[in-house]
Structure 1
Amino acid sequence: MSADDRRASIIAVTMPLLREKGRVVSTKEIARAAGIAEGTIFRVFDSKEDLIDATVHDAFDNSTLLVELAEVERALCLRDRLAAAVAIMQSHLEGVFALMTVLHASGQPMRPPKHDGDAHKRREEATAELDAAFVELIGTDAELLRVSPRQFIGYLRMLTLSSVHPMLGGESSTPEELVDVLLEGALDRTALPPATTPATISAPTPATISAPTPATPSPTTSRKKT
């Protein structure tokens, strides 16, 4: 196994333990879960803290997310492709939030990476890569949208994030429900009167707004003087 593969395998084993126990997890527990000698960890990482920091920041990495999005079956209809993608995003975000919660509860929240002046640039690049993956997922069905694909993706990202964010405390939404609201809107058109359309629900006509009702002349003012 190459050094990179060994590093990735140790991080993969550490992730669920870190979500369960926080930074108090021991290298002995990690080694046991990985099926390796404890000393092997320190041939790859300088210390337990280096391993934990690498694991935390790996949780925010988009690489696995992009691979899973690329594996969504393109033969599915747009609605089903988007639902599959939202399920992947929700799972990724739930893992991130679970990790952040346990680290915060342990009194040892995430630490910024050392000597990382390019963090902001990398975040922008990661967001651009994710947007590009969704644009490719939508494909030629973009012509079915009333907004640009990137604007649509922005809405999708916000709804997906809010559906799993632990601090928002709203009702959870399934991927199918979320996609349905985004594509069709929240308006129940079956409940509208037959002649009512969304465009006429609340918009008064110009005449209603500005045209005063002509005054009816009284008999006195309308009678000719003799």
Structure 2
Amino acid sequence: MSSKRIAECAGVAEGTIFRAFPDKNALISATLAHAFDPAPTIESIKAVAGDPDVRFRLKTAVRILTRRFRDNAPLMMSLRGSGLAVVTTTPVFDPREALTGISDAVAELIKDDADSFRLPPETVASLLISMVFFNNRSEILPEDQIVDVVLDGVLSPEAKKEPAC
């Protein structure tokens, strides 16, 4: 896409773009950094920390994560398909670092409930995020059932009961 077309889509003059960015690569890098910035997601997850209901907190986190993955999926696919390599002097986006920050926020969200889990909060957070990510691609489960599967497993309540002697 030409810088002229980018300016038209942004509703600004082409010169305005180049007063803010030295070149097209810098503009694309800044756009990607903004789109993939994990800070808004982390802040949204932290905002539900005070609720006493762990299921509510995790279901809210699932909605936040689902929105993030859905919003970023088309951009990720476009980048992969375009062959575009954004060259910068400093890394703009480290997906591992972003995912670690998000995972840490989810683990922090449930740390006070650690004694009720069989696994550490960090592992529960990783499982939840993995399920949200995979579910975003294939929609196996409704959003609200992801938390139930992570917390309760896949056995029905009847199957979990001990057989009578």
TM-score norm. by structure 2 comes to 0.81
Residue 185 of structure 1 is matched in structure 2 by 153
In the alignment, structure 1 residue 100 sits paired with structure 2 residue 76: yes
Alignment partner, residue 70 of structure 1: 46
Letter matched to residue 99 of structure 1: L
Task: Give the number of the structure with larger relative contact order, counting CA–CA contacts within 8 Å between residues 6 or more apart.
Answer: 2
- 8 Å CA contact retained: 2:25, 2:87: no
State the secondary structure of the residue aligned to 1:143.
helix
In structure 1, how many angstroms separate the alpha carbons of the residues matched to 2:96 and 2:73?
20
* Distance change (3 Å), C-alpha of 1:58 and 1:158: same
Q: 1:125 to 1:30 in 2, by over 3 A?
A: same
Greater helix content: 2
Q: CA deviation at 1:111?
A: 1.9
Query: How many residues align structurally?
Result: 163
Question: In the alignment, does 2:96 pair up with 1:129?
Answer: no
Determine whether 1:150 maps to 2:122.
Answer: yes
Where do 5+ consecutive residues of structure 1 fail to align?
Answer: 1-22, 198-226
What RMSD over aligned residues (CA atoms) do the two structures have, in Å?
2.8
Change (3 A) 1:73 1:130: closer
CA distance in 1, matches of 2:133, 2:141: 11
The match for 1:114 among 88, 106, 111 is 88
Q: Which of 129, 139, 164 is the matching residue for 1:171?
A: 139
Larger Rg: 1
Structure 2: distance between partners of 1:64 and 1:110: 26
Deviates more, 1:60-69 or 1:44-53: 44-53
Aligned-partner Cα distance in 1 for 2:15–2:86: 26
TM-score by length of 1: 0.61
Amino acid at match of 2:141: S
Task: Give the drift of 1:151.
Answer: 1.2
What whole-Å deviation, never above 9, does each CA across 1:82-110 have from its counterpart, x for those lacking one? Answer: 010111111111122111223445xx244
1:140 matched residue in structure 2: 112
CA distance in 2, matches of 1:161, 1:100: 13
The percent identity for this pair of structures is 28
Aligned amino acid, residue 158 of structure 1: S
Deviation at 1:39, TM superposition (A): 2.3
